[in-house]
């Protein structure tokens, strides 16, 4: 017997740029939105019966419609508004979900003052959030970031590892540690100031990365995750992915000069891939 398994459908890459013009200091939100629905859609997949299907084009328009009237201060709030609206207005839906990647924009400083209507794109990675809302249940919120480029030029080494006949890597107690990090954390309650929580978590992650005396990327990842959990009690766990972006020391001896850890070649492939979840015990 053949049967349909778990399924969902929705609209992806809905681009939204929202400008809040409350006074001389404008605010910009740039969101890349994905929304989806789960439900009893077997008749559509198996028989082509679309009577229970909300068109994905309508879902796109729903994003724009809700963005116009939304007073959400962050992507978590807007995503919650969307899934609540879709669930309340579509009785055939069993679960609505939304995922948002935010592009950060900051005010430009001009003449020593913050310019209210001119912006520069931050290089602090993309903020992300995913909200799912099952009918009869509670909305679940997970937030995070991706493509966060961080680098440290001291307090990083790698030694004491397994060596066999294929090992060519040399031990080092002084190397560059660079990564394009991604992370996601889950909230244990909906009563959260998401913007403040994100700020505390990101500050804890970056401070830990900066000061940690790293014996490996793995050890630094764990230290960062632990710091995030200690900083924000509203999260139950954090998943971190830290691909090791290598900076290889250049041999300058054929050129007649030394190279005491000054000149490197950055390379991102192949790269080490390190990831883990850090969670509260129990």
pLDDT by residue (tens digit) across 135-152?
A: 999 999 999 999 999 999
pLDDT by residue (tens digit) across 246-260?
A: 888 899 999 999 999
11 is an active site residue: yes
Q: Which of 27, 56, 84, 103 is catalytic?
A: 56
Q: Among 8-17, 106-115, 223-232, whose mean pLDDT is lowest?
A: 106-115
Fold of 9-138: Urate Oxidase (3.10.270)
58 is an active site residue: no
- For residue 158, pLDDT over 80 is answered with yes
- Residue with token string 């910009």: 28
- For residue 42, pLDDT over 90 is answered with yes
Nearest 5°: phi and psi at 80? -65, -40
pLDDT recorded at residue 229: 98
| Residue range(s) of every CATH 3.10.270.10 domain in the chain | 9-138, 147-279
CATH for 147-279 is 3.10.270.10
Burial (Cβ within 10 Å: 0-12, 13-18, ≥19) of residue 28:
middle
Q: Which of 11, 38, 186, 212 is catalytic?
A: 11
Mapped onto helix, strand or coil, the DSSP state of residue 194 is helix
- For residue 87, pLDDT over 90 is answered with yes
Q: Which of 29, 38, 186, 246 is catalytic?
A: 246
pLDDT recorded at residue 103: 93
What is the rounded CA–CA span in Å between residue 124 and residue 182?
11
Query: How confident is the model over 110-114, as a mean pLDDT?
Result: 91
- Residue with token string 């014996």: 215
What is the rounded CA–CA span in Å between residue 114 and residue 188?
37
For residue 245, the Cα-to-chain-centroid distance in whole angstroms is 18
Burial (Cβ within 10 Å: 0-12, 13-18, ≥19) of residue 237:
middle
What is the rounded CA–CA span in Å between residue 132 and residue 236?
17
pLDDT band for 202, please (50, 70, 90 cuts).
Answer: very high
pLDDT by residue (tens digit) across 221-271?
A: 999 999 999 999 999 999 999 998 888 889 999 999 999 989 999 988 888
Evaluate if pTM is beyond 0.75.
yes
pLDDT band for 204, please (50, 70, 90 cuts).
Answer: very high
pLDDT by residue (tens digit) across 89-102?
A: 999 999 999 999 99
Question: DSSP alpha helices (H): ranges in the chain?
Answer: 42-47, 56-69, 75-88, 194-211, 217-231
- For residue 53, pLDDT over 80 is answered with yes
């Amino acid at each position: 017997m053949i049967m349909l398994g778990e399924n969902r459908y929705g609209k992806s890459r809905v681009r939204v740029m929202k400008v809040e013009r409350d006074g001389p200091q404008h605010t910009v939100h740039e969101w890349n939105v994905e929304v989806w629905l789960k439900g009893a859609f077997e008749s559509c997949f198996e028989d082509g019966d679309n009577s229970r299907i909300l068109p994905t084009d309508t879902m796109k328009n729903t994003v724009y419609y809700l963005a116009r009237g939304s007073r959400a201060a962050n992507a978590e709030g807007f995503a919650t508004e969307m899934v609540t609206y879709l669930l309340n207005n579509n009785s055939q839906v069993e679960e609505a979900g939304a995922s948002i990647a935010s592009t950060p924009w900051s005010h430009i400083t001009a003449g020593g003052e913050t310019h209210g209507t001119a912006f520069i794109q931050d290089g602090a990675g993309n903020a992300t959030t995913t909200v799912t809302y099952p009918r009869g249940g509670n909305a679940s919120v997970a937030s995070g970031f991706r493509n966060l480029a961080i680098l440290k030029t001291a307090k990083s080494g790698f030694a004491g590892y397994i060596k066999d006949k294929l090992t060519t890597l040399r031990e080092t107690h002084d190397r560059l540690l660079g990564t394009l990090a991604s992370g996601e954390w889950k909230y244990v309650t909906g009563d959260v100031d998401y913007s403040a929580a994100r700020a505390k978590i990101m500050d804890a992650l970056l401070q830990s990365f900066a000061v940690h005396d790293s014996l490996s990327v793995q050890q630094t990842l764990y230290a960062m995750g632990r710091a995030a959990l200690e900083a924000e009690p509203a999260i139950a766990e954090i998943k971190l992915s830290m691909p090791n972006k290598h900076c290889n020391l250049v041999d300058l001896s054929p050129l007649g000069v030394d190279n005491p850890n000054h000149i490197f070649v950055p390379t991102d492939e192949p790269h080490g891939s390190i990831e883990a979840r850090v969670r509260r015990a129990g």
